[in-house]
């Protein structure tokens, strides 16, 4: 999942980028309204977090122009102001949610996840499953045969991708771009190392292996015998 953050306050911007990245999102950070609008209309995002008060273009104007272009990505506004007028104006302009600064990061994360779930037209399942492996997308928890598996945020994202595209061979380049937001570098073994670690947690103790290497092609998660 890819999120655009537009925030001019250096500290808040860095904090948001770091926190959301650690939570498993791919994050682009823009420091002013023009850059933010440019990214919003040239890249593809699942959600945008917009500060209201921004240099060059404020959050409302970004939102207005995003909507004019027919983009329906959910937008969450951040503002230091708590006036009822701002709230109404933001929601009328097509904002999906509104958070007043200062806010707790956990609150922001919960709102983002709610918006992302609401956005998918067909309500997304709360769980992804393959054989006895289950991924709880709400609690961000993995279990196999009912046993809890501790995963890092990246491992969770990687496993989520494999489960969503179950049965499909995923090339390393695709995994690199979707989980790490990086271009595939043939010298890099980041993907292989991450898959090995994931397998150690998900497959090693079980007879039935779910994650397979397809030589020269990539990786696939399969639940058929
Ligand atoms: Ca600001």
The CATH code of the domain that includes 197 is 1.10.10.10
Q: How far apart are CA 71 and CA 18, in angstroms?
A: 26
Q: How far apart are CA 74 and CA 197, in angstroms?
A: 34
Same domain, yes or no: 121 and 164? no
What distance in angstroms lies between residue 113's CA and the mean position of ligand 1's atoms?
23
pLDDT band at 177 (very low <50, low <70, confident <90, very high): confident
Domain count along the chain:
2
Residue with tokens 């329906």: 72
* Domain end call among 76, 98, 126: 126
- Residues 6 or more apart whose CB falls under 8 angstroms from that of 96 comprise 74, 75, 76, 115, 118
CATH number of residue 103's parent domain: 3.40.50.2300
Same domain, yes or no: 85 and 7? yes
What distance in angstroms lies between residue 122's CA and the mean position of ligand 1's atoms?
35
Same domain, yes or no: 109 and 144? no
Question: pTM above the 0.85 mark?
Answer: no
Task: Report which of 114, 105, 38 is spatially closest to residue 78, judged by C-alpha positions.
Answer: 105
Same domain, yes or no: 156 and 212? yes
User: Could you give the C-alpha distances from 175 to 21, 55, 203, in angstroms and in order?
Assistant: 16, 36, 19
Percent of the chain with pLDDT over 90: 57
Same domain, yes or no: 184 and 135? yes
* Domain end call among 109, 126, 143: 126
What distance in angstroms lies between residue 76's CA and the mean position of ligand 1's atoms?
14
Question: For 90-133, how does the pLDDT look when each residue is reduced to its tens digit (9 = 90+)?
Answer: 777 778 888 888 889 999 999 999 898 887 654 556 889 999 99
Same domain, yes or no: 119 and 135? no
Task: Report which of 166, 101, 185 is spatially closest to residue 128, judged by C-alpha positions.
Answer: 166
Same domain, yes or no: 97 and 147? no
The two three-digit tokens of residue 106, written as one number: 């956990």
pLDDT at 122: 45
Same domain, yes or no: 105 and 142? no
Same domain, yes or no: 121 and 55? yes
What distance in angstroms lies between residue 19's CA and the mean position of ligand 1's atoms?
18
Same domain, yes or no: 142 and 117? no
- The pLDDT of 191-198, averaged and rounded, is 94
What distance in angstroms lies between residue 203's CA and the mean position of ligand 1's atoms?
46
Same domain, yes or no: 107 and 61? yes
- Listed in order, strand segments (DSSP E) in the chain are 2-6, 26-30, 47-51, 75-79, 97-100, 127-130, 133-136, 141-144, 147-149, 211-214, 218-221
pLDDT at 186: 55
What distance in angstroms lies between residue 210's CA and the mean position of ligand 1's atoms?
47
Give the structural domain span for 86.
Answer: 2-126
* Domain end call among 81, 101, 126: 126
Question: For 5-45, how does the pLDDT look when each residue is reduced to its tens digit (9 = 90+)?
Answer: 999 999 999 999 999 999 999 999 999 999 999 999 999 89
Same domain, yes or no: 146 and 42? no
What distance in angstroms lies between residue 32's CA and the mean position of ligand 1's atoms?
9
What distance in angstroms lies between residue 10's CA and the mean position of ligand 1's atoms?
9
- The pLDDT of 146-157, averaged and rounded, is 94
What distance in angstroms lies between residue 171's CA and the mean position of ligand 1's atoms?
40
What distance in angstroms lies between residue 99's CA and the mean position of ligand 1's atoms?
13
């Amino acid at each position: 999942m890819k999120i655009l953050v537009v925030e001019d306050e250096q500290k808040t911007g860095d904090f948001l980028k770091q926190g959301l990245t650690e939570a498993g999102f791919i994050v682009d950070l823009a420091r002013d309204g023009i850059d933010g609008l440019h990214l919003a209309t040239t890249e593809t995002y699942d959600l945008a977090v917009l500060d209201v008060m921004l240099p060059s273009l404020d959050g409302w104007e970004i939102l207005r122009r995003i909507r004019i272009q027919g983009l329906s990505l959910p937008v969450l506004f951040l503002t230091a102001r708590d006036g009822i007028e701002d709230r109404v104006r933001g929601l009328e302009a097509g904002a999906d949610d509104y958070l007043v600064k200062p806010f707790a990061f956990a609150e922001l994360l919960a709102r983002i996840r709610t918006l992302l779930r609401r956005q998918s037209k067909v309500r997304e399942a709360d769980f992804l499953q393959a054989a006895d492996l289950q991924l709880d997308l709400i609690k961000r928890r993995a279990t196999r045969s009912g046993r809890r598996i501790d995963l890092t945020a990246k491992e969770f994202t990687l496993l989520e991708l494999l489960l969503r595209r179950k049965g499909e061979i995923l090339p390393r380049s695709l995994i690199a771009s979707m989980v790490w937001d990086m271009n595939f570098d043939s010298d890099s073994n980041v993907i292989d190392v991450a898959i090995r670690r994931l397998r150690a947690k998900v497959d090693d103790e079980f007879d039935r292996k779910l994650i397979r290497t397809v030589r020269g092609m990539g990786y696939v998660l399969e639940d058929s015998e």
